[in-house]
Amino acid sequence: MASDVEEWKDELYGTDIRAEIERFAEEGWESIPDDEQDAWFERFKWYGLYHQRAGQESYFMMRIGPPGGVLAPGQFRRIVEIADEFSRGPAENPVFGNGWIDVTTRQAIQLHWIRLEDVPEIFEQLEDVGLSTVQACGDSWRNIVGCPVAGKDKHEHVDADALATDLHDTFKKNEAHSNLPRKWKVSVTGCDEGCGQGDINDLAFEPAEKEIDGETVTGYNVRVGGGLSRNEPRLARDIDVFATPEQAVDVAGGISALFRDHGDREDRYNARIKFLVDEWGPEKLRETLQDDYVDFELETAGEDLREDYSYNAGDADGKHDHVGVHEQNDGNYYVGLNVLVGRIGVDEAYDLADAAEEHGSGEVRLTQRQNIIFTDVPEENLETLRSEPVLEHYSPDPHPFQRGSIACTGTEFCSLSIVETKNRQVRYARWLTQNVELPEGVEDFHIHLSGCTASCAQPQIADVSLRGMKTRKDGEPVEALDIGLGGGLGENPQFASWVTERVPADEVPGAIANLLENFAAERDDETQSFREFVLERDDEELADLVEPEETDYEDPYLHNTKRTWYPYAEDDDLDASPAPARADGTPIPSDD
């Protein structure tokens, strides 16, 4: 039997949802009939609106997806203005205040505490500068990710920005591809550093060369079926197809249509294409694509550049991210700024928008490491840009523990989460920076924290992977983390292996400190990277090196942040929740 979600999508999905959102916005939150809420919330996701968790009813998360993370001049500022006006909650976050933007691991922006009544106005303001929330959530083409400096990068072999934009223009609001069995995540890489993270996407285009009719053509190899969620991580698999830049959109459309027709619509937990690739194998997928979904002869895979991939590759040298000052292909510079856990308060965001306009072209790009990049900065402006006060906090030269930190949304807003994430990761990064010496030669150290197995913070591709759990400590249930080690991308990507489970959250900084101390003492020499060190050892040996321990680190979120309406509210009890609320913020009394 088809799931309820499939029935709702059959009834109404895609662009038809817009008029309904406008209608509900006009009539107010209370006009959504109680017995239709489940169906409408599911549909709203297609327009980038995700209903927040229990205790926060009537408030939405809104996601805005610029392809490849490229925000043209003016677009970043517009998002900040929208956050300033519409993204204010009924309580304050102690670290971030009230009003901010979140840069996500898929090069999107998330806003929280959005009122349905404000959505039409927000849509207008976004569209006015060419932005949109279309298909940012829901069962369709999500934001297309890729090299964040595509088109400007000295390492580029093929123009990933052009393809990401083509795919975006072709497959957003495209009726034939609007209703897929599940989310559809696409990545385009054009450089020899591998920074598109193709291996963890449903569909990946990766730079390659191929001899066709005696001529060397630059284009893309195609991989399918990567993803991290649900304890079932998969690397995208090589389907032995090379696509010229001209063919790439047709190949993408063919694979998306194949997924639409053959993906599992009975069982949402088996729906992602990674499971279809498991079942069919890459050969059958290629055959079906050739026979039924493209009308030209597919080329076999070309020569790829994976050998050179340095991004998050775990080598002791090489470029691992886009933070810092780097020369572009036109002689200007791009400047990557560190955004701890991806969150920027509204006031500082205005300062950043000013700085990007004053010293660069005003373009701001988003990276898959939750950071931002200013592009087109002339050499003579570098000095003055670096002296801007806002760059003290959003630094092009951050401490490795700040630079390597990624955290998902967590219990603050997400109903799947088991633990508090962003504020905790900020505290971890501070404590580690102040108390732990990195071993000689270690300049990159990635720590990713996800609140549950959905893995939005991509924990499995970090040096230290943290995943939300619970444990019992002194007889009380407390928030805890599983600790995994040795994940990363590069030529031979590797998922972290979960070596130590259920460590109370207040003992995690001590565990990382001890782990690094043991690594420094036991590594072969100072050129051995952490990832190499982990690869050489089995899980038991590694578990012995972790040694969780209480330190002077204090964790204010140990006790069940999930059972609150907002973990940081003065009275955080679910019964004290001001939600659901009307457009002006006054609570709506419940009828029981």
Q: Which residues make up the interface to ligand SF4 (CB under 6 A)?
A: 408-410, 414, 416-417, 450-452, 454-456
In 10 A of CB 490, how many CB atoms? 23
User: Which one among 458, 494, 561, 577 touches ligand HEM, defined by CB under 6 A?
Assistant: 458
Q: CB burial class (10 A; 0-12, 13-18, 19+) of residue 251?
A: buried
SS (H, E, C) 308-375: HCCCCCCCCCCCCCCCEEEEECCCCEEEEECCHHHEEEHHHHHHHHHHHHHHCCCCEEECCCCCEEEE
CA dist 10 and 148 (Å) reads 36
User: Which one among 311, 413, 565, 568 touches ligand HEM, defined by CB under 6 A?
Assistant: 413
Nearer to another protein, 154 or 472 (CB): 472
Nearer to ligand SF4, 222 or 469 (CB): 469
User: Do 466 and 456 contact (CB within 8 A), yes or no?
Assistant: no
Q: CB burial class (10 A; 0-12, 13-18, 19+) of residue 266?
A: exposed
Nearest to 445 by CA among 290, 287, 321: 321
β-pair partners for 115: 59
Q: Taking CB under 8 A as the rule, does residue 54 contact another protein?
A: yes
Coil, helix or strand at residue 130? coil
Coil, helix or strand at residue 51? strand
User: Which one among 62, 108, 144, 447 touches ligand HEM, defined by CB under 6 A?
Assistant: 108
Q: Taking CB under 6 A as the rule, does residue 178 contact ligand HEM?
A: no
Q: Taking CB under 8 A as the rule, does residue 117 contact another protein?
A: no
The stretch among 149-157, 205-213, 222-230, 489-497 that binds ligand HEM (CB under 6 A) is 222-230
- Which among another protein, ligand HEM, ligand SF4, none contacts residue 492 (Cβ within 5 to 8 A by kind)? none
What Cα–Cα distance (Å) separates residue 182 from each residue in 59, 256, 265, 275? 24, 11, 8, 12
Looking at residue 474, the DSSP 8-state letter turns out to be T
- Which among ligand SF4, ligand HEM, another protein, none contacts residue 450 (Cβ within 5 to 8 A by kind)? ligand SF4
Interface mask (CB under 8 A) for another protein, residues 1-40, using x and -?
A: --xx-----------------------------xxxxx--
- Which among ligand SF4, ligand HEM, another protein, none contacts residue 410 (Cβ within 5 to 8 A by kind)? ligand SF4
Nearer to ligand SF4, 111 or 243 (CB): 111
* Virtual torsion, Cα 402, 408, 409, 411, nearest 10 deg: -100
Amino acid type, 158: V
Amino acid type, 165: T
Kindly state the smallest distance separating residue 459's Cβ from ligand SF4, in Å.
Answer: 8
Nearer to ligand HEM, 69 or 99 (CB): 69
- Which among ligand SF4, ligand HEM, another protein, none contacts residue 104 (Cβ within 5 to 8 A by kind)? ligand HEM
* Virtual torsion, Cα 565, 570, 573, 578, nearest 10 deg: -50
Residue 479: which residues within 8 A CB-CB, separation 6 or more?
Answer: 418, 419, 420, 468, 469, 470, 504, 505, 555, 557, 558, 559, 560, 561
Q: Taking CB under 8 A as the rule, does residue 95 contact another protein?
A: no
Q: Which 9-38 positions form the footprint of ligand HEM (CB under 6 A)?
A: none
Tokens of 45: 């996701």
Q: Taking CB under 6 A as the rule, does residue 394 contact ligand HEM?
A: no
CA dist 417 and 59 (Å) reads 17
CA dist 273 and 234 (Å) reads 10
Nearer to ligand HEM, 95 or 416 (CB): 416
Element (H, E) at 124: helix 119-128
- Which among ligand SF4, another protein, ligand HEM, none contacts residue 37 (Cβ within 5 to 8 A by kind)? another protein
> Residues in contact with another protein, total (CB under 8 A)?
30
User: Which one among 562, 564, 565, 569 touches another protein, defined by CB under 8 A?
Assistant: 562
- Which among ligand HEM, another protein, ligand SF4, none contacts residue 372 (Cβ within 5 to 8 A by kind)? none
Q: Taking CB under 6 A as the rule, does residue 104 contact ligand HEM?
A: yes
User: Which one among 14, 17, 21, 42 touches another protein, defined by CB under 8 A?
Assistant: 42
Nearest to 445 by CA among 406, 393, 480: 406
Nearer to ligand HEM, 275 or 533 (CB): 275
CA dist 439 and 516 (Å) reads 7
The stretch among 78-86, 438-446, 469-477, 549-557 that binds another protein (CB under 8 A) is 469-477
How distant is the alpha carbon of residue 372 from its chain centre? 13
Q: Which 288-307 positions form the footprint of ligand HEM (CB under 6 A)?
A: none
CA dist 46 and 490 (Å) reads 32
CA dist 350 and 117 (Å) reads 25
CA dist 261 and 156 (Å) reads 35
DSSP 387-438: T-THHHHS-SS--HHHHTEEE--GGGT-TT-SS--HHHHHHHHHHHHHH-PP
The stretch among 250-258, 309-317, 415-423, 436-444 that binds another protein (CB under 8 A) is 415-423
Nearer to another protein, 42 or 555 (CB): 42
Q: Which 437-456 positions form the footprint of ligand HEM (CB under 6 A)?
A: 454-456
Nearer to another protein, 217 or 454 (CB): 454
User: Which one among 416, 520, 535, 576 touches ligand HEM, defined by CB under 6 A?
Assistant: 416
User: Which one among 97, 281, 441, 477 touches another protein, defined by CB under 8 A?
Assistant: 477
The stretch among 90-98, 103-111, 378-386, 399-407 that binds ligand HEM (CB under 6 A) is 103-111
Kindly state the smallest distance separating residue 162's Cβ from ligand HEM, in Å.
Answer: 21
Question: Checking DSSP bridges between strand 343-345 and strand 497-504, what pairing results, if any?
Answer: unpaired
- Which among ligand HEM, another protein, ligand SF4, none contacts residue 54 (Cβ within 5 to 8 A by kind)? another protein
Q: Taking CB under 8 A as the rule, does residue 327 contact another protein?
A: no
Q: Taking CB under 6 A as the rule, does residue 414 contact ligand HEM?
A: yes
Nearer to another protein, 6 or 161 (CB): 6
Binding residues (CB under 8 A) for another protein: these are 3-4, 34-38, 41-42, 54, 230, 268-269, 415-418, 452-454, 468-472, 477, 501-502, 562-563
Binding residues (CB under 6 A) for ligand HEM: these are 50, 61, 63, 104-106, 108, 110, 142-143, 185, 200, 227-229, 408-409, 413-416, 454-456, 458
